[in-house]
Structure 1
Amino acid sequence: MDAVRALMGEYLSHLRVERGSSPLTVSAYATDLRDYAAFLEERGVQEVEDIDRATVVDFEASLVDRQYATSSVDRRVSVIKGFHRFLVREGYARRNPTDTLQLPKPPERLPDVLSVKQVDDMLSACTGREPLELRNRAILEVLYGCGLRVSECTGLDLGDCILDEGYLRIVGKGNKERIAPISGAALEAIGDYLEHARPELVKPYAKPTAAVFLNARGGRLTRQSVHAIVAEAGHLIGTDNLHPHMLRHSFATHMLEGGADLRVIQEILGHSDISTTQIYTHVNRTHIREEYLNAHPRA
């Protein structure tokens, strides 16, 4: 079994070094593989060649028995499939026991979005001038105004803010860099924060950091803190469970409704595949249908 665990370590190193996967992705894969390894050990598996299709199917069944959500089962099985493909590709195994294992196609689920009015109401309610209030408003404006992921927001450094030219340099998934335009309210909010609030949050006793968004102790703000800030902003407009990704979805949807080209939205969001961005065309169709039903006299 030690040999199998060692190969799992090789796979994780491959993801981190050669694939450029983020630390969060590698950590999630490591958790899934540890669960798989524990299952294999219970089954008495010692070598990867001892793993057959039935073993993987039984592992999938064990996840269902433990009442994992369908999406969690599919994700874990997908990780296992990737691991076994790696073993064959690198010559560690002669066959892939997951070759004929099919994942069910998940049902299409449109992303939750706020209306333009809800966004306006939320941001209009953020009027405080205390350092943390200015920071929180800047975070909300940047998440919605630039369509950032929460990790991209917390990862912003001062050198990434080229505000006089109207853009942010973003390091996204797989350490891929892109440019996100910033203007209007978002540009004003982050400029206000950098000038009037961030200097107040820098602490002489804290380790120096180039992070744009700081916590009350002068350190880089965490993803969990941003989630809490966004959730609290949602409460201001009576929206429960508002999360940063909903602001990203809202950005893309409102851009599309405003006439932006899908390829432009793809570039701004940092999607490597246009098919990922195309889900927003479904949202737009829903919007068009609603407008039709509201406007047409015989609808």
Structure 2
Amino acid sequence: MKWQHALKDYQLYLKIERGLSQNSIDSYSTDIQKLIAFLEENNINSSPISVTSEVVQQFIYETAKHVNARSQSRMISGLRSFFNYLVFEDYRKKNPLELIESPKIGRKLPDTLSEDEIDKLINAIDLSTPQGERNRAILETLYGCGLRVSELVNLKLSDLFFDEGFIKVTGKGDKQRFVPIVAVTQKYINIYRKEVRNHINIQAGFEDTLFLNRRGKQLTRAMIFTIIKQLAEKVGLKKNISPHTFRHSFATHLLQNNADLRSIQLMLGHESITTTEIYVHLDKGHLADVVEKYHPRK
């Protein structure tokens, strides 16, 4: 079995059987392609079936010189998943990463913004331009609905159910969920639609896409990052923020205002409650207050 054949089979498995998004599939594939490149550069003639634990360990050791522990851990996890697939399909007897341990890393807590910082960023938007109205609607939607950036750029007009107070969001693995949308977010989306979007020459294929660029096409993920970075520089915000920061802030502020984890999990589209539990670690003072207020033996 050749490497590229094994990789294509694995990609198909990730897409069809595990229902992963293309971004996740690309991430897994990158780790395998790096291993393939390493074998070629070092003239190691090993197939996916014959490659040994020693060779894989050598590759990880060399790669570790150039990446941090978190990236190394993610790479090992990706390779382990690939070889587990080969074992499952009876191409191999054992996983060469069976005895290779991932580096120990602390759990990284997400960066968040305060309500004042979010207000400063939104208030810094230049509303004298059509792009300003669009960007305000984008930030209000990111924060108001806790969306991933990929979910935001793929949001459709047909996903908006304002009369019912919800939007339909397509998340990882094309899983769909309904997320509540508050009146203020609805208001800014409607302003953008009426005053900006209705006056754009929309290109074929993007008629149902909510957020568009000046040329009438779907915004890229990179463009959303750029909008936020420029606003952060404008207000002198020293934090390293991204679109995901608004999602983290959404969840953290809900928790601080006594929302339950299960509701936050559903709104964020987390498959496991353990993913949502990271927000519990953000505000231990708040949790202490909750115990003080609600515990029967306080």
When normalised by structure 2's length, the TM-score is 0.90
The letter for the 1-side match of 2:56 is: V
The letter for the 2-side match of 1:225 is: M
After the TM superposition, which of the residue ranges 135-144 and 13-22 deviates more from structure 2?
A: 13-22
Q: Distance in 1 between matches of 2:128 and 2:184?
A: 16
- 1:105 equivalent in structure 2: 104
The answer on whether the counterparts of 2:124 and 2:234 sit within 8 Å (CA) in structure 1 is yes
The letter for the 2-side match of 1:222 is: T
The answer on whether the counterparts of 1:131 and 1:201 sit within 8 Å (CA) in structure 2 is no
- 1:213 equivalent in structure 2: 211
Q: Distance in 2 between matches of 1:136 and 1:253?
A: 23
Quote the offset at 1:281 in angstroms. Answer: 0.7
Q: Distance in 1 between matches of 2:198 and 2:21?
A: 30
Equivalent position SS for 1:265: helix
Equivalent position SS for 1:75: helix
**Correspondence 1:190-209 to 2 at 5 A:** 190-203=189-202, 206-209=203-206
Quote the offset at 1:263 in angstroms. Answer: 0.5
Quote the offset at 1:68 in angstroms. Answer: 1.6
Equivalent position SS for 2:39: helix
- 1:164 equivalent in structure 2: 163
Q: Distance in 2 between matches of 1:110 and 1:247?
A: 14
Q: Distance in 2 between matches of 1:155 and 1:221?
A: 9
Equivalent position SS for 2:196: helix
The answer on whether the counterparts of 1:131 and 1:200 sit within 8 Å (CA) in structure 2 is no
| Cα pair distance change 1:63/1:107, threshold 3 Å | same
- 1:294 equivalent in structure 2: none
- 2:89 equivalent in structure 1: 90
Q: Distance in 2 between matches of 1:114 and 1:247?
A: 7
| Cα pair distance change 1:208/1:39, threshold 3 Å | closer
Quote the offset at 1:101 in angstroms. Answer: 1.8
Per-residue displacement from partner, 1:166-200 (whole Å, max 9, x unpaired)?
A: 11100101111011110132111111111221112
Runs of 4+ residues over 4 Å off in structure 1: 286-290
The letter for the 2-side match of 1:61 is: Y
**Correspondence 1:104-253 to 2 at 5 A:** 104-126=103-125, 128-203=127-202, 206-209=203-206, 210-240=208-238, 241-253=240-252
The answer on whether the counterparts of 1:3 and 1:46 sit within 8 Å (CA) in structure 2 is no
Equivalent position SS for 2:179: strand
- 1:54 equivalent in structure 2: 54
Equivalent position SS for 2:147: coil
**Correspondence 1:69-80 to 2 at 5 A:** 69-80=68-79
The answer on whether the counterparts of 2:137 and 2:185 sit within 8 Å (CA) in structure 1 is yes
Equivalent position SS for 1:169: strand
Q: Distance in 2 between matches of 1:96 and 1:133?
A: 53
Per-residue displacement from partner, 1:144-173 (whole Å, max 9, x unpaired)?
A: 000000000001011111112111100101
The answer on whether the counterparts of 2:49 and 2:91 sit within 8 Å (CA) in structure 1 is no
Q: Distance in 2 between matches of 1:236 and 1:257?
A: 28
| Cα pair distance change 1:127/1:8, threshold 3 Å | closer
| Cα pair distance change 1:156/1:117, threshold 3 Å | same
The aligned length equals 286
Equivalent position SS for 2:197: helix
Q: Distance in 2 between matches of 1:151 and 1:262?
A: 23
After the TM superposition, which of the residue ranges 42-51 and 72-81 deviates more from structure 2?
A: 42-51
Quote the offset at 1:70 in angstroms. Answer: 1.9
| Cα pair distance change 1:96/1:198, threshold 3 Å | same
When normalised by structure 1's length, the TM-score is 0.90
